Amino acid sequence: MWRSLAATAALTVTLTLPALVVAQEAPATQKSLPEQLVDAFNGVFGVHPGMRANHPKGVALEGTFTPAASAASVSKAAHLQKKKTPVPVTVRFSAGSGQPNVPDTSQMPRGMAVKFSLPDGSKTDLVVLSFNGFPVATAEEFKDFLLAVGASGPDAPKPTAIETFLGAHPAAKHFVESPKPQPVSYATLPYFGINSFKFTNAKGAVTFGRYQLRPVAGEHFLTQEQLATAEPDYLTTEIRERVRRSPAKFKLMLQVAEKDDQIDDPTIVWPDTRKQIELGTITITKAVADSQAAEKKLFFMPGALVPGIEAADPMIAARSASYIVSLSRRAQAQ
């Protein structure tokens, strides 16, 4: 657990800053915001050619998605309609760091990405995080957050840039200082959509909401004794062994916004009392044999949507564009 702001900044830098490396192709002022975001990630975590700028350490798996009976009432999206056969999905779990070799025992949020392969050949993605809420409200603020982390090395003068930033951004301070216990498995963590989406059903009725993925196996975390003996890659090893024995399942839920809920500010966590609608079940059945090779070809994007689902938060466009920048750079390095 990160027990103080100073310890948090120091730990972040110690774990993720082998060097401050920022791309120098052009002055930052001449670059788009998505390019600046990727540069800021590189400034915190270093440049790792051929790898994702964020969440490079992961594991790919395969399975299916079966929509719930209630899904079609929310959206006309193809994968949410009742079908004779489930929709194939590719799932990627990832460690929450830009370091390819970050140990699974690190106290960082984990990621989960799901690619739905629809019968007409189209695809749609879901990108979620194992923390409910986000440190900042806009992509511009997220860039500033990353730059502050990158400028807060062990020898940085006090107050450090990250201390100053967190002092002015309570949501970011909460995000950084909140406990992030290590899970028993990637399959025993809940995951939350960062941003809000607009859902439209076949009758034109509109619902705004955020995704949540709930593990059917329940939420389970390591004890301190278990954590002390956990291997650096225990999550990857565990999920592979888990799905070899039996499928890992998640319930895909939609937390519905009420009239006065802010849908364009991901720092605001809606109350648990908000209505939730079950959209379906993701069933992970097997690990990809050569995950590293598969992951190089995989590309998930929050804005990869199909009719019936639209972005409701401007941050989604910036996130998606930064993913494309990262993809382009890692493709050039391969």
Strand partners, 321: none
Tokens of 182: 């290590």
Mean pLDDT of the chain: 91
Question: Which residues, 6 or more positions from 91, have their beta carbon under 8 angstroms from its beta carbon?
Answer: 60, 61, 62, 63, 112, 113, 114, 115, 282, 284
Closest CA to 333 of 58, 43, 103, 53: 53
pLDDT digits (tens, 9 = 90+) for 192-202: 999 999 999 99
Tokens at residue 169, please?
């951004």
Q: Is the pLDDT of residue 108 over 50?
A: yes
Region 308-314 average pLDDT? 98
Q: Please, what sign has the CA dihedral across residues 182, 187, 188, 192? A: positive
Q: What sign has the CA pseudo-torsion 260, 266, 269, 273?
A: positive
Q: Whose structure tokens read 């995950």?
A: 291
pLDDT value at position 24? 39
Other Cβ atoms within 10 Å of 51 Cβ, number? 22
| Strand stretches in the chain, DSSP E | 58-67, 87-94, 111-117, 123-129, 191-193, 197-200, 206-215, 248-256, 276-287, 309-311
Whole-number pLDDT of residue 333:
80
| Residue 27 pLDDT grade (very low, low, confident, very high; cuts 50, 70, 90) | low
Torsion angle defined by CA atoms of residues 300, 301, 302 and 306, in that order, rounded to the nearest 10 degrees:
-100
Res 5 pLDDT > 60: no
Q: How far apart are CA 201 and CA 290, in angstroms?
A: 39
Distance of CA 204 to the CA centre of its chain: 30
| Tens-digit pLDDT profile for residues 35-60 | 999 999 999 999 999 999 999 999 99
pLDDT digits (tens, 9 = 90+) for 226-247: 999 999 999 999 999 999 999 9
Question: Between 334 and 270, whose confidence is greater?
Answer: 270
From CA 187, how far away is CA 219, in angstroms rounded? 8
User: So where are the chain's domains?
Assistant: 5-333
Confirm if 248 and 217 have CB atoms less than 8 A apart: yes
What digits encode the pLDDT tens for the residues 246-304?
Answer: 999 999 999 999 999 999 999 999 999 999 999 999 999 999 999 989 998 899 999 99
**How do residues 60-104 score in pLDDT, each as one tens digit?**
999 999 999 999 999 999 999 998 899 999 999 999 999 999 999
pLDDT of 14 over the 90 cut:
no
Residues assigned a catalytic role? 55
Predicted local confidence at residue 15, as pLDDT: 31
Q: For residue 89, which of 56, 128, 127, 124 has the smallest C-alpha distance?
A: 124
Rg (CA), the chain: 19
Q: Is the pLDDT of residue 10 over 80?
A: no
- Residue 178 neighbours by CB distance under 10 Å: 14
Enter the pTM of the model.
0.90
* Residue 286 C-alpha from the chain's centroid: 21
pLDDT number for residue 20: 31
| 142 Cβ contact list (under 8 Å, min separation 6) | 37, 135, 136, 315
* Beta-strand relationship, 111-117 and 87-94: antiparallel
Helix extents (H) in 29-138:
33-45
The yes or no reply on domain 5-333 and CATH 2.40.180.10 is yes
Residues 215-230: b if buried by 16+ CB within 10 A, e if exposed: bebeeeebeeeeeeeb
Measured CA to CA in angstroms, residue 173 lies from 132, 165, 167, 195 at distances of 14, 9, 7, 19
Tokens 């390591």 found at? 222
Per-residue pLDDT band for 17 (boundaries 50, 70, 90) equals very low
